[in-house]
Protein backbone atom coordinates (compact mmCIF):
# COMPACT_ATOMS: atom_id res chain seq x y z
CA UNK A 1 0.00 0.00 0.00
CA UNK A 2 1.35 3.41 -0.95
CA UNK A 3 1.53 6.17 1.63
CA UNK A 4 2.83 9.71 1.80
CA UNK A 5 5.43 11.60 3.79
CA UNK A 6 3.43 14.88 3.80
CA UNK A 7 -0.14 16.16 4.11
CA UNK A 8 -2.21 17.83 1.38
CA UNK A 9 -1.74 21.12 3.21
CA UNK A 10 2.06 20.78 2.95
CA UNK A 11 1.74 19.97 -0.76
CA UNK A 12 -0.42 23.08 -1.13
CA UNK A 13 2.50 25.32 -0.04
CA UNK A 14 4.38 24.27 -3.19
CA UNK A 15 1.49 23.85 -5.62
CA UNK A 16 -0.15 27.26 -5.15
CA UNK A 17 2.87 29.41 -6.13
CA UNK A 18 3.66 27.07 -9.05
CA UNK A 19 0.12 27.26 -10.44
CA UNK A 20 -0.10 31.01 -9.81
CA UNK A 21 3.10 31.48 -11.82
CA UNK A 22 1.59 29.56 -14.76
CA UNK A 23 -1.61 31.61 -14.66
CA UNK A 24 0.23 34.92 -14.40
CA UNK A 25 1.90 34.27 -17.73
CA UNK A 26 -1.43 35.23 -19.28
CA UNK A 27 -3.40 36.95 -16.50
CA UNK A 28 -2.22 39.90 -14.44
CA UNK A 29 -4.50 39.39 -11.43
CA UNK A 30 -4.54 35.88 -9.97
CA UNK A 31 -5.79 35.48 -6.40
CA UNK A 32 -5.64 32.04 -4.75
CA UNK A 33 -8.24 31.98 -1.96
CA UNK A 34 -9.76 29.64 0.57
CA UNK A 35 -13.23 31.25 0.69
CA UNK A 36 -15.28 31.72 3.81
CA UNK A 37 -18.84 33.00 3.64
CA UNK A 38 -18.01 35.54 6.38
CA UNK A 39 -14.77 36.76 4.77
CA UNK A 40 -14.14 36.45 1.01
CA UNK A 41 -17.89 36.20 0.34
CA UNK A 42 -19.00 38.74 2.95
CA UNK A 43 -20.97 41.96 2.44
CA UNK A 44 -17.81 44.10 2.55
CA UNK A 45 -16.10 41.87 0.01
CA UNK A 46 -19.13 42.08 -2.29
CA UNK A 47 -19.04 45.90 -2.02
CA UNK A 48 -15.30 46.07 -2.70
CA UNK A 49 -15.59 43.78 -5.74
CA UNK A 50 -19.10 44.65 -6.99
CA UNK A 51 -17.96 45.35 -10.57
CA UNK A 52 -15.31 42.63 -10.80
CA UNK A 53 -15.62 39.74 -13.19
CA UNK A 54 -13.34 36.73 -13.02
CA UNK A 55 -12.73 33.16 -14.03
CA UNK A 56 -12.45 30.44 -11.38
CA UNK A 57 -10.02 27.53 -11.44
CA UNK A 58 -10.24 25.00 -8.62
CA UNK A 59 -7.17 23.02 -7.64
CA UNK A 60 -7.13 20.11 -5.21
CA UNK A 61 -3.69 19.55 -3.67
CA UNK A 62 -2.71 15.89 -3.69
CA UNK A 63 0.16 14.45 -1.74
CA UNK A 64 2.76 12.34 -3.50
CA UNK A 65 2.53 8.71 -2.37
CA UNK A 66 5.25 6.05 -2.49
CA UNK A 67 5.14 2.27 -2.11
CA UNK A 68 8.39 2.22 -0.15
CA UNK A 69 11.36 4.42 0.63
CA UNK A 70 13.42 3.03 -2.26
CA UNK A 71 10.74 3.68 -4.85
CA UNK A 72 10.96 6.64 -7.21
CA UNK A 73 7.45 6.03 -8.58
CA UNK A 74 5.00 8.62 -7.30
CA UNK A 75 1.32 7.78 -7.02
CA UNK A 76 -1.63 10.15 -6.81
CA UNK A 77 -5.13 9.36 -5.59
CA UNK A 78 -8.37 10.60 -7.09
CA UNK A 79 -11.36 9.66 -5.00
CA UNK A 80 -15.13 9.99 -5.19
CA UNK A 81 -15.22 13.31 -3.34
CA UNK A 82 -13.02 14.92 -5.99
CA UNK A 83 -15.08 13.34 -8.76
CA UNK A 84 -18.31 14.72 -7.24
CA UNK A 85 -16.79 18.18 -6.89
CA UNK A 86 -15.59 18.00 -10.49
CA UNK A 87 -19.14 17.29 -11.70
CA UNK A 88 -20.33 20.43 -9.89
CA UNK A 89 -17.53 22.34 -11.60
CA UNK A 90 -18.39 20.96 -15.03
CA UNK A 91 -22.05 21.91 -14.67
CA UNK A 92 -21.04 25.49 -13.80
CA UNK A 93 -18.22 26.04 -16.29
CA UNK A 94 -15.49 25.81 -13.65
CA UNK A 95 -12.40 23.72 -14.42
CA UNK A 96 -11.30 21.49 -11.54
CA UNK A 97 -7.79 20.09 -11.51
CA UNK A 98 -5.57 18.27 -9.06
CA UNK A 99 -1.91 19.00 -8.48
CA UNK A 100 0.82 16.81 -7.07
CA UNK A 101 4.48 17.68 -6.46
CA UNK A 102 6.78 15.23 -8.19
CA UNK A 103 9.06 14.82 -5.19
CA UNK A 104 10.10 11.64 -3.38
CA UNK A 105 10.95 13.16 0.03
CA UNK A 106 10.86 16.46 1.92
CA UNK A 107 14.28 17.55 0.65
CA UNK A 108 13.31 16.80 -2.93
CA UNK A 109 10.11 18.75 -2.27
CA UNK A 110 12.04 21.73 -0.91
CA UNK A 111 13.54 22.31 -4.37
CA UNK A 112 10.65 20.96 -6.43
CA UNK A 113 10.27 22.43 -9.90
CA UNK A 114 8.17 19.64 -11.38
CA UNK A 115 4.46 19.14 -10.76
CA UNK A 116 1.80 16.82 -12.12
CA UNK A 117 -1.39 18.68 -13.05
CA UNK A 118 -4.43 16.45 -13.62
CA UNK A 119 -7.63 17.49 -15.38
CA UNK A 120 -10.41 15.75 -13.46
CA UNK A 121 -12.77 15.86 -16.46
CA UNK A 122 -10.70 13.28 -18.30
CA UNK A 123 -12.35 10.32 -16.49
CA UNK A 124 -9.18 8.28 -16.71
CA UNK A 125 -8.57 7.58 -13.07
CA UNK A 126 -9.93 4.07 -12.82
CA UNK A 127 -7.72 3.14 -9.91
CA UNK A 128 -7.53 4.66 -6.46
CA UNK A 129 -3.73 4.88 -6.81
CA UNK A 130 -2.52 6.23 -10.13
CA UNK A 131 1.20 6.12 -10.98
CA UNK A 132 2.19 9.52 -12.34
CA UNK A 133 4.56 7.95 -14.90
CA UNK A 134 1.64 5.96 -16.34
CA UNK A 135 -0.60 9.04 -16.43
CA UNK A 136 2.17 10.90 -18.24
CA UNK A 137 2.69 8.08 -20.78
CA UNK A 138 -1.05 8.07 -21.52
CA UNK A 139 -1.12 11.84 -22.08
CA UNK A 140 -3.26 12.41 -19.01
CA UNK A 141 -1.27 15.24 -17.43
CA UNK A 142 -1.98 18.87 -18.26
CA UNK A 143 0.66 21.06 -19.83
CA UNK A 144 0.87 24.78 -19.07
CA UNK A 145 -0.93 25.73 -22.30
CA UNK A 146 -3.79 23.35 -21.49
CA UNK A 147 -4.25 24.90 -18.04
CA UNK A 148 -4.41 28.36 -19.59
CA UNK A 149 -6.94 27.10 -22.17
CA UNK A 150 -9.13 25.67 -19.39
CA UNK A 151 -9.27 29.11 -17.79
CA UNK A 152 -9.77 30.95 -21.08
CA UNK A 153 -12.76 28.73 -21.93
CA UNK A 154 -14.31 28.79 -18.46
CA UNK A 155 -17.33 30.71 -17.19
CA UNK A 156 -17.04 34.27 -15.91
CA UNK A 157 -18.33 35.05 -12.42
CA UNK A 158 -18.94 37.98 -10.16
CA UNK A 159 -18.79 37.59 -6.38
CA UNK A 160 -22.52 36.84 -6.10
CA UNK A 161 -22.51 34.11 -8.77
CA UNK A 162 -19.25 32.72 -7.36
CA UNK A 163 -20.91 32.41 -3.94
CA UNK A 164 -23.69 30.40 -5.60
CA UNK A 165 -21.19 28.04 -7.19
CA UNK A 166 -19.20 27.75 -3.94
CA UNK A 167 -22.30 26.76 -1.95
CA UNK A 168 -23.47 24.34 -4.66
CA UNK A 169 -20.06 22.63 -4.90
CA UNK A 170 -19.80 22.44 -1.11
CA UNK A 171 -23.07 20.50 -1.03
CA UNK A 172 -21.51 17.73 -3.13
CA UNK A 173 -19.10 16.92 -0.31
CA UNK A 174 -19.88 14.66 2.65
CA UNK A 175 -20.79 16.49 5.82
CA UNK A 176 -18.04 16.65 8.43
CA UNK A 177 -17.80 18.92 11.45
CA UNK A 178 -14.96 20.97 9.92
CA UNK A 179 -16.00 20.66 6.30
CA UNK A 180 -14.79 18.32 3.63
CA UNK A 181 -11.66 16.28 4.23
CA UNK A 182 -10.27 17.55 0.92
CA UNK A 183 -9.92 21.32 0.71
CA UNK A 184 -9.46 22.91 -2.70
CA UNK A 185 -7.78 26.21 -3.47
CA UNK A 186 -9.90 28.55 -5.58
CA UNK A 187 -7.95 30.67 -8.05
CA UNK A 188 -9.88 33.83 -8.92
CA UNK A 189 -8.52 35.14 -12.19
CA UNK A 190 -9.64 38.63 -13.17
CA UNK A 191 -11.13 38.70 -16.66
CA UNK A 192 -9.40 41.04 -19.12
- The string of pLDDT tens digits covering residues 141-169 is 999 999 999 999 999 999 999 999 999 99
Q: In the predicted model, what is the mean pLDDT of the chain?
A: 92
Q: What is the DSSP letter of 108?
A: H
pLDDT digits (tens, 9 = 90+) for 173-185: 887 777 777 899 9
Return left, alpha or beta for 3; rule: phi > 0 is left, psi -120 to 50 is alpha, else beta.
beta
Burial status of residue 183 (CB atoms within 10 A of its CB: 0-12, 13-18, 19 or more): middle
**Number of other residues whose CB lies within 10 A of the CB of residue 13:** 12
**pLDDT reported for residue 4:** 94
Range with the lowest mean pLDDT among 7-16, 40-49, 159-168? 40-49
User: Which residues face 115 on adjacent strands?
Assistant: 101
pTM of the model: 0.94
Amino acid sequence: MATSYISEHSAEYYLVPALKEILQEQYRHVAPVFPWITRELSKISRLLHKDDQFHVLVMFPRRPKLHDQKSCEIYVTINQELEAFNKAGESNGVPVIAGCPRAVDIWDLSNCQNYAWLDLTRNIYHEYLNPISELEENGCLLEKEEILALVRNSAIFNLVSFKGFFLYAKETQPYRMYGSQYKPVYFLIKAH
